[in-house]
Structure 1
Amino acid sequence: MVAGVSARPERKPADLLAGFAVLALLGGFLAYAVIDKGRPAESGYRLNATFAHIDGLAVGSDVRLAGITVGQVVDERVNPKTFAAGVTFTVRPDIKLPDDTAAIITSDSLLGGKYIALSPGGDDRMLKPGATIGETQGSISLEQLLSKFIFSVTDTLTQANQARAHAQQSGATDAPATPAPASAPAPAPLAPPDAPASGREP
């Protein structure tokens, strides 16, 4: 007896389209999650600042006020005319900053990540969204600090050695000459003996 082979049910085009649609939707969500993961969450209003150097500062770095995170860096660029670094960051909408606020790039420690520290001023006028902060201080490179320190120490040691050598040379030149030992005076010549008496009175 030959067993009958059951025929495979034919898939309808609508089912195939639905499956492709589900796969495409899942792929879209996955791509959005990957892209959005590297994008800082933006909330609040934007401010701009220009720095000479922003070494170590990256998109997503914190913006802090009194040690508390109040925003994030959302954009970095280079001015092709001035070659300065432009930074755009956000600040919480409930925080209003005076017009003379300063933005300083600093770090938690020598090896810590960089962030922007805001130092409010005393102006009565407030920064508006999209304004540019005028008072800024760029990032200080650890390598530059170490190089300056090593150069300063080396220069100090060189100057000290030169001063010591000069002092030794001056001391040898100005030292008084050692006087020669005084010679003993020559003995006085002996007086000639008296002539013997001749027996006659002069």
Structure 2
Amino acid sequence: MSTWPTSAWPGRTGFATVRRTAVLLLAGVLLTGCGFTVYDLPLPGGGGAGGDSYQVTVRFRDVLDLVPRSAVKVDDVTVGEVEKIHLDGYTAEVVLRLARKVRLPDNATARIRQTSLLGEKFVSLAPPADQAGYGRLGDGDVIPLARTGRDVEVEEVLSALSLLLNGGGVAQLKTIEVELNKAMSGREPDVRRLLARLDTFLGQLDAHKQEITRAIDNLDRLSASLAAQKTTLAAAVDQLPAALKVLADQRRDLTRMLVELSRLGDVGARVIVSSREDLLANLQALDPILTELARAGDSLPKSLQLLFTYPFSDATANAVAGDYTNLQLSLDVDLQGLLSGRTPPPVPPAPPLPRVPLPTKTPTALPTVPVPTALPTVPLPTAVPTSLPTSLPTVPAPHPRSPAPGCLPPLTCANGAASVVPAYDANLGRLLVGGVL
């Protein structure tokens, strides 16, 4: 019969260690089989939302190393925690549990931040900074990708810095400095003058910045006009090759025309030089005429105005009262005299108008006219005739008068009150018209 060595048999402490290890392994197997993970274990430091809370889903393009049970803060105050993180296509959806007392607008923003340079990540919620908030964030709401983001990681900053230091132009700064010293050595006055002129140039630009802005605005309007007429411009550009081809085909004729035009210019110059004295003489001869026309002034336009309406001026209409005017006209037309060149006999002057004596004294009082106290009574007819006469009385017509031989019939005026009797003298060949119109 074999015996177990005393030194190899575990003591009381060894049995306790083995027992604890077995219990932990069994617990791990049981937890794994039931679907629990290490994130489901209660950890210290988490910001629980308590019993009265609501869920909000936030979508991020990149959640970095954010883990469940991370804090959710508003104005750097913990108001909830990250409950779940899962992938939906190429978008990370983070389910947040917030306390019911947290009030945020419906268009709130979310950002993944870091507590310190090497601290933990957390989700920061805030109202929108570029617009006014509206509504209220509630249970089941979703914050889309357009309103989420993250801060720059320290690793990204160090990577960009290493790229600048290793593959960038930092190593070439020394070369640039040396070359600048070589280029500017001994040319300090020129560099100072250049800087002074550059300062003046920048000052002029600053003084004319309004004009520059206006020119840019006008250029913008011109570009808009060109854009609105791009169809017309495209048609013009399409037709331009054909026009250029026509010009190219007629290049010989155009060249000949320009040569002949040059010769015409030479001939015109010779003609002007040859006729210079005659031209100056003509201008000197026109000087008195132009002087007299200038001296006539306003009289010339007035005379031209009266020439086309002679003998009636613009004021003639003011002398006509209604449809008639008092005018006595004597017209003597001697056809034989005009044809033979004889002058007509003088027209006798019109008789003078009678003078009406004016009273020498003004009466001091007007005569008194008696006013009747009562109007006389006019008797009215007792009966009104019931019928009117059917015919009017006959008026004898005037005896027609035949015109004398060699005379014209009488001319009746428009109002029928007077007539003008023209007569023609066959012996003298004169047309005499007299009367009152």
TM category (shorter chain) comes to: 0.5 to 0.7
Aligned to 1:187: none
Matches within 5 A, 1:7-86: 36-38=40-42, 43=51, 44-80=53-89, 83-86=90-93
* TM-align CA RMSD: 3.1
Secondary structure of 2:116's counterpart equals coil
The TM-score normalised by the length of structure 1 is 0.59
Residues 55, 139 of structure 1: CA spacing in aligned structure 2 closer, same or farther, 3 A cutoff?
A: farther
1:104 to 98, 103, 111: 111
Tell me how far 1:79 sits from its aligned partner: 2.4
Structure 1: gaps spanning 5 or more residues: 1-26, 175-202
How many corresponding residue pairs?
143
Secondary structure of 1:146's counterpart equals helix
Are residue 120 (structure 1) and residue 127 (structure 2) matched? yes
Residues 162, 34 of structure 1: CA spacing in aligned structure 2 closer, same or farther, 3 A cutoff?
A: closer
More helix by share: 2
The TM-score normalised by the length of structure 2 is 0.29
Separation of aligned partners in 2, 1:66 and 1:47: 18
The answer to whether the 8 Å contact 1:54/1:139 transfers is no
Task: From the CA coordinates, give the structure whose radius of gyration is larger.
Answer: 2
Separation of aligned partners in 1, 2:59 and 2:106: 15
1:164 to 177, 181, 186: 177
Separation of aligned partners in 1, 2:164 and 2:101: 47
Separation of aligned partners in 1, 2:87 and 2:173: 44
Are residue 130 (structure 1) and residue 140 (structure 2) matched? yes
The answer to whether the 8 Å contact 2:107/2:134 transfers is no
Aligned to 1:146: 158
Amino acid at match of 1:144: E
Secondary structure of 1:144's counterpart equals helix
Matches within 5 A, 1:155-194: 155-167=168-180
Tell me how far 1:75 sits from its aligned partner: 1.0
Separation of aligned partners in 2, 1:34 and 1:146: 34
Separation of aligned partners in 1, 2:100 and 2:106: 16
Tell me how far 1:170 sits from its aligned partner: 5.2
Amino acid at match of 1:125: G
Separation of aligned partners in 2, 1:132 and 1:96: 15
Separation of aligned partners in 2, 1:34 and 1:167: 65
Report the identity percentage. 23
The answer to whether the 8 Å contact 2:56/2:142 transfers is yes
Separation of aligned partners in 2, 1:139 and 1:77: 21
Separation of aligned partners in 1, 2:169 and 2:80: 44
1:93 to 96, 100, 104: 100
Structure 2: gaps spanning 5 or more residues: 1-26, 188-437
Secondary structure of 1:137's counterpart equals strand
Secondary structure of 1:78's counterpart equals strand
Larger RCO of the pair (alpha carbons < 8 Å, separation 6+): 1
Tell me the alpha carbon deviations over residues 21-72 of structure 1, each in whole angstroms, 9 at most, x when there is no partner: xxxxxx8xx9699975258756411111122221121000000112211111
